[in-house]
Each structure stands twice: as C-alpha cells, then as structure tokens.
Amino acid sequence: MSVPPEWQFDIEVRPPGWSFPAGKSWLAGWIFAGESRFVTDLRAWIDGRPFLGLPGLPKPGLDEKFLHRPGPPYSGWVIQVEPHRGAALLRLEARDPTGTWTEFFRTAITVAADAPVCPPPAPLSGRLPELVPTLLRLRTQRPRTPWAALADEVVSAALSVPLNSLPNPPFHGALEEPRDTGWLRYGRLSMSGWLAHRTEKIKRLTALADAVQESPILHGLARPDIGGVFADLPGREHSQFVGHVDLPANQSAPALLKIFAELENGEKHLAFAQRFTPRVIAGADTPLPPLSKQIFAKALWALRGSAGRHGLPTGSPGALLAAARAAWAAYVAEAPAKVRRHRAAPLPAVSGPADETPLRVLVVTHNLNFEGAPWFIFELARFLARQPGGSVRVLSPQEGPMRRVFEEAGMPVEVVNLSAALAATSAGEFDPALHAAVKTDWSQVDLLVANTMVSFWAVQLAAAARKPSLLYVHESSSVRRFFEPLLAPALFPLVEAAFHAATRVVFTADSSRTVFDYLDEGNFRLLPSWVDVARIDAFAAAHEKAALRRKHGLDPAAMLLVNIGSICERKGQHIYLRAAELLRQELQFTYPGKKIQWVMVGARPGVYLDTLKQEAALHGLDNVVFLPESGEIFDFYRLADVFVCTSFEESFPRVLLESAAFRLPIVSTNVNGIAEMLAPDEAWFTAPGDRYQLAEAVKAALAAHFAGDTSRAERARAAIVRRFHEADSLPQHAALARAAARRS
C-alpha cells in the first residue's frame, strides 16, 4: 500500500483492537489529501464487501488548520460497517476528483463468532441490464482506461452498501427529493423537503454534492401540512426548503447529497445524507458509444471478469443470456442515432421577378416572453407581413410582453389555453382537448409557421385542416429528453409525428438538425439565421454608453461583464456566479482600483433566481447585479464591455450574433450551434458547466480589454456580417415560406 506523502488522516472511532462485535459498528475520523487535492468519496472494504461512508463532514479546528480557513472541503468522515463472521481484513479507500480510488489504510480484524455469515451477493445476471449502460457510458468518458478497470469500478459501486442519514431529534424533517434517483437539469440536482428544530432557530441550510461547492438552500417557505403530525413543533408552518446543487460531470454513482443546518447559536449539523443514482433529464449527458456488437461484447466480457474478481456469481446460463438480450435491447434503444449524410436541399430562388402573391400567415410561438426564439419569429413575421399582400396573425399558449411588440407592428395576437391538452395522458385525450382549445378560421390561412418544437401541436392542427406548415426547431435536445418533464410519454409520438407532418422543418444550426436526423423524411431544411446590422450600427451611433448605464442604474465608470438571457438553469447563470466568486480576490489584486461588475439581464421570478441571489449574498458578492427581462435589449449590448454566454444548450443564439455585431469581446460556452457561428480566434470558448474554464476565459477577455486589444471582437463582427446579414438571410426564409405555401 502506497499512500501519497501529503495525505494525513486519523481513525478516531473504532472498536478496541479492531475486534468487531456482531452487528453494525461505526468508524469515524478525518482525512486531508493536500491543498491541491481533496476527497470526493470514501469506502471501507470488509474482505470483498464494500461499504460507502459519509466524507466531507465539518471538523472544526482541523479544517482551519489544514486550509487556513473554514471548509469546504471538510475533513471529517464516518462509515457504518457490518462485518460478517470470519472476516479478516479491513481496508479504507478515498476517491479523488479524477475518479481514482486510493487505499490509505488496512488492518487485520476479528469478528465475533455470533456475527451473521457473509450474505450471498445477487448474481450478475440480475444486475446486467443496469451495469452494461453504466459501463458503456464510463467507457465514453474515459476511453483510454482499460475495460477491466472500468468494469471493476462499476461492479464495486453496484455492490457497495450505501449510508444515508435522516435528522435526529431535536431536528425533525424529511428529504422528499432526491430519493433513490436524482433528476439533473443542466448539471444541477433539485432538492426539496422540510426541516425544523425543536429548540433553536435554523439560520440557513446549505448543500454539498461535491467536495468544495456548498450551495445555499431556500428555507422557511410555507408548509401547512406538518402541523397535522407535529402539532407542537416550533417553526413547522414555515419549514419547507427547496433548492439546487451542482453535480460534477464525473460524479461517482451512487452520488452523495449532504444537507447541513446552521443554527442561530453557531452550530452546524448534518441534517440529511442521501445516496442516489443521477438521471439527466436536461442538458449534456454522457452518451452511449455508437451501436456496436463488438463494443457490447467487450462490455459483457469485462463485467463477467469483474464479477469473478469480486466473488459475484454469474447466474444460470439461461438467466445470463436473457439479461444480455435485455441489455442489448436497451443499448439499441438508447445508442446515438446513426447520422445520415445530409445533402442540403437547394435554397428557394430569391432572384428574378418578385412573387407578389398575397400570403396570409398564422404564426404560432411557444410563448410571448422577451426571449431569443420569440424575437426571432417576430423579425421573420414582420418581414413576411411587409411583403406585397402579406398579413400575419399570431397565436400563443402563453401571455407575455412580446404581445405588445407584435401588436405595435400590426400583427394581432390571440392567447389560447392549452393546459387541458398538454395535461393529457394519451393521444385520445389530447386531440379533442386541442381542438376544443384552438378555434381558428383556416380558410383565412395560407401558411402556418410554428416556432420551436414546443409548438408541435400547431403543425397537427394545420395538417388536419390540410394547410401547409413550417416548423422552426431551435432546440438541441431529443424529443424524449426535452419533453420528459413536460408531457406524458404517450404524447411523445405526437411530437415526432409533427416533424413528418410539417411541409418543411427548418433549422438554423446543423448541430440541431443532426439531433433529429432520424425524423427527416426529406422535408428538413437548413437556413442561416440573421442579424440586423444596420439597425445595430444606427443604435450604437445614437446612444452613448455612459448614458445607458445611468439609465439602468449601473456605474458609468465600472468595467461591465454582461450576461444576457432569461435567468434559468439552461442558461447556466449559476456557473457565471461561480466564476465571479472564484475571481473576486484575484481581480482585485490584478486590477487594483478597477471596479468590475458581473451583470445578469433576464431576471424572472422563481426559485432559481432566488437561490442565485441568496448565494451571491452568502458569498458577499456585492459586484453582482441582477436586472429584469427587458424589451430594450440593445441597451445592454451597448453598455457592456464584455459579453458572457454560459448556456448548457443553445441552437443558434441570437445574443451572440448581436453581441458580435456590437463589436463586443465574447466569452461563451462552445455548445451546439455556437461553433457554427464563431471560430476559436473570434471568441474565448469554454466547456459548459466548468466554472474554472469560465474564470480563465474571463481573465483572458479582461486582459485584452484593459490592453485595448479588440482583434477578436473585430474578427467576430466581420464574420457574422459576412455570413448572417439580414439582407441575405431573411429573403431566403421568405422564399422558403412561399414555396411551402405552394407546396413546391
């Protein structure tokens, strides 16, 4: 056993002489892996049986000694084990952020003769359907790691006995989410439950799902049902908590969530510990490898070998074969769809005599918020309405401030209530509810234009009325992944059917088109998006930066990093906040006397915004500014010094086109269609969800700004003007609309 020299640890709670009585026993202590390394998980092996512990517990005094500040990371840990009769060896292992387990302690043990015998493990055949996809995804993550090592990691995790923890009196409470499964949206785990203390006031709740990033949780929300069980519990009526915590992409499974309660008297207690299996429902997920019988066979062989090394029986040949077939079927269903070679269809002709046939268009947009997709469809609708004889009406299932924008441009808006249809659990329920909610005179419609995949229902209505349609898809997530939290699974085929029913399905990013390639029946089209360069140049010339800053309550003399977009998990503003926290002290030393502010434009009420504000307050980030969604979005491009995009998922974001047109330096995640917009020498790119990469990119952009280096911004401006000028792009979209209306 070779322990890294910088590691320090102690086992403070253990049985005398390492002689275990029958039943469960506790081990506890602390471990410090060095200033540049930390422990993400901990487990004990009793002979060949693994027991997961609870690492990362506060250890007052020691945390300050090692870190020269309070944690996290915290150094304390506990493990509960139940040695079996005849067990002879105990080993302790710690996991680091790379996923590597390191043994740091081993000792011979004895166990009481009346202890239970070693329980027989379940056979491999019963676990195979869940182990195969886990191993295949791990192989995608770490392709250079030998199959045997990956299989051992998967099998040992499956065999591990988890340790959970519930509140002990005088705490009372329940963790309602997550349970055995934790749902992830854009790298964040949602949590909810309730907690109260019988004698003390709870000052705050925080959560950890990795070793270092402790997130605040909203606590004190109304919870009226607790009084029926704990009628005399102080604080019961406002004991609800909700929140989110970041989950690292390489997090081991089962993952561990810890929730801590801080009391008014200064004490900090572990309130909940919950092991769970992460399941991604939105955002990037580690994909399975492309479908391959050879890869599948290697996975099966590796798991069988690991089972032998762990003393795991394989099961009967018949059971093993049935399990292998089930695992193969799951692999076939979830493997990335084979992307067919895409041949871009000829674009509609836009030269020659103008087509002046009147075109009556019904535009359906998924909402009327100040967001990129509604602005996109507004500009297209306005262009169509200005064509000879053109007219546009707008339909939306959600009210919003864009109604005024459409109506002031002469396009009437109708809002319909689709709640009954979208709550349906079958196609038989959905269709009549949809037709009851939407009453449209289709005789006055020549073409339907549906905006975003969420407007799939409008394509179905047009098809039923025998009217042509365009479906503009801005999403870069598969149908089933995107709609899992929104619709009943029985409705997913209806969404996919809309791709077939639409006369044309239009994408502005090839990366988005690829996601839906399996639905292409020859009606997919790829058309460039656009930016109104002339309007942007006129606005910039007419508005002075300092005046716009005063208008919005911002410091005219500050250096402003600006993030524009609806504040929501998909846009990743929590990563933006993390970078602000990481760089707070460094930027003060690097640029003394310079006021640098992190501005977020797009605030909308909700738990996500509340948690961001609470976290900013908790870390003393007085240089972070939240501003509401605005129809005056050009103001914020003009007043910004650097534009920052932290999105986890984007198709072809107009904010990047517009920020480039405003000659702003750009820091952005490099996801989906963004790589089709800008080159690496035109912006500073980062991986989504990586606060460290984002911090480094922001530092580089700031260095260029203070040095007066505008070369990237100028190259970005030239590229988007050359490729996405509205004078070139909008006529192509209008020509496609006319061709679709003629069904040609």
Confidence band, pLDDT 50/70/90 cuts, at residue 23? very high
**DSSP string of 183-243, one letter each residue:** EEETTEEEEEEEEEESSS-EEEEEEESSSS-EEEEEEEE--GGGGGT-TT-TTGGG-EEEE
Average pLDDT over residues 128-134: 92
The 3-state secondary structure of 236-287 reads: HHHCEEEEEEECCCCCCCCEEEEEEEEECCCCEEEEEEEEEEEEEEECCCCC
Average pLDDT over residues 374-398: 94
Q: In this prediction, what percent of the chain has a pLDDT beyond 70?
A: 96
pLDDT at residue 249, rounded to an integer: 60
Average pLDDT over residues 179-193: 86
pLDDT at residue 345, rounded to an integer: 44
Q: What share of the chain is helix, strand, coil (3-state, %, to 5)?
A: 35, 25, 40
Dihedral of alpha carbons 549, 551, 555, 560, sign: negative
What is the arrangement of strands in the sheet containing 642-645, beginning at the earlier edge strand?
624-628, 596-603, 559-564, 642-645, 666-669, 684-686
On the question of pLDDT at 207 being above 90, the answer is yes
Q: Comparing 299-303, 442-446, 517-521, which segment has the lowest mean pLDDT?
A: 517-521
Residues carrying CATH 3.40.50.2000, the chain? 360-530, 533-724
The tens digit of pLDDT for each residue in 595-617 reads: 999 999 999 888 889 888 988 98
pLDDT, greater one: 187 or 163: 163
The tens digit of pLDDT for each residue in 640-683 reads: 999 999 998 888 899 999 999 999 999 999 988 898 999 999 99
Q: In this prediction, what percent of the chain has a pLDDT beyond 90?
A: 68
Q: Compute the distance between CA of residue 253 and CA of residue 277 in angstroms, rounded to an integer.
A: 6
Average pLDDT over residues 221-239: 87
Q: Is 369 left (phi over 0), alpha (psi -120 to 50) or beta?
A: beta
Q: Where are the alpha helices (DSSP H) in 484-623?
A: 492-501, 510-515, 533-542, 545-551, 573-590, 607-618
Confidence band, pLDDT 50/70/90 cuts, at residue 1? low
360-530 is classed CATH 1.10.10.10: no
> Measuring CA to CA, which residue among 361, 601, 347 is closest to residue 468?
361
pLDDT, greater one: 246 or 583: 583
Q: Is 672 left (phi over 0), alpha (psi -120 to 50) or beta?
A: left
On the question of pLDDT at 55 being above 90, the answer is yes
Phi then psi for residue 8, to 5 deg, are: -130, 145
> What is the enclosing helix (H) or strand (E) of 172?
strand 171-177
533-724 is classed CATH 3.20.20.60: no
CA 567 from centroid of its chain's CA atoms = 13
What is the residue-averaged pLDDT of the chain? 90
Confidence band, pLDDT 50/70/90 cuts, at residue 105? very high
On the question of pLDDT at 343 being above 80, the answer is no
Q: Comparing 496-500, 676-680, 688-692, 694-698, which segment has the lowest mean pLDDT?
A: 688-692
Architecture of domain 1-119: Sandwich (2.60)
The tens digit of pLDDT for each residue in 615-640 reads: 898 788 999 999 998 889 999 999 99
Q: Compute the distance between CA of residue 365 and CA of residue 575 in angstroms, rounded to an integer.
A: 29
Q: 625: number of CA atoms within 13 Å, CB side?
A: 22
Average pLDDT over residues 141-146: 90
Q: Compute the distance between CA of residue 599 and CA of residue 624 in angstroms, rounded to an integer.
A: 6
Architecture of domain 171-282: Sandwich (2.60)
Q: Compute the distance between CA of residue 572 and CA of residue 644 in angstroms, rounded to an integer.
A: 11
177 by DSSP, 3-state: which?
strand
Model pTM greater than 0.85? Answer: no
Residues carrying CATH 2.60.40.650, the chain? 1-119, 171-282
Q: Where are the alpha helices (DSSP H) in 651-710?
A: 654-661, 674-677, 691-707
Assess contact for 560 and 554: CB atoms under 8 A: yes
Q: At residue 2, what is the residue type? A: S
How far, CA to CA in Å, does 700 sit from each of 564, 571, 697, 716?
20, 22, 5, 16
Q: Compute the distance between CA of residue 370 and CA of residue 358 in angstroms, rounded to an integer.
A: 30
